[in-house]
Amino acid sequence: MSSKDPILVTGLNGYLGAWTAETILKSGYPVRGSVRNVEAGRKTKEALVALGYDASLIEVVEIADMTAAGAFDKAVVGMCDYSSVDH
């Protein structure tokens, strides 16, 4: 497993998301990708693994409704050390 923090890619299963994820993986960083449908995310992960990337460096997080309050909370857990948001 990489000691680098994962980089979040929203829309992992889309054209740009998949290419972005591949570029990130080439750079040695793990990817956490958000998708609306976990099955679509699984297929994208399988495609990246087929290209030779380590499956343990690719995590898929389902966000069925990105308009819901806190929708991305699960996707960003453990990713951010600092926040510019005042509470």
Q: What pTM did the predictor assign?
A: 0.81
Rg (CA), the chain: 13
What pLDDT digit, counting tens, does each position of 28-51 carry?
A: 999 999 999 999 999 999 999 999
The percent of residues in the chain predicted with pLDDT above 70, rounded, is 86
Statement: residue 27 has pLDDT above 50: yes
| Structural domains of the chain sorted by starting position, each given as residue range(s) with its CATH number in brackets | 7-68 (3.40.50.720)
Residue 80: per-residue pLDDT: 52
How far apart (Å, rounded) are the C-alpha atoms in residues 30 and 69? Answer: 26
* Residue 21 burial class via C-beta count within 10 angstroms: exposed 0-12, middle 13-18, buried 19 and up: buried
Helix axes 38-50, 15-26, angle to 10 degrees: 40
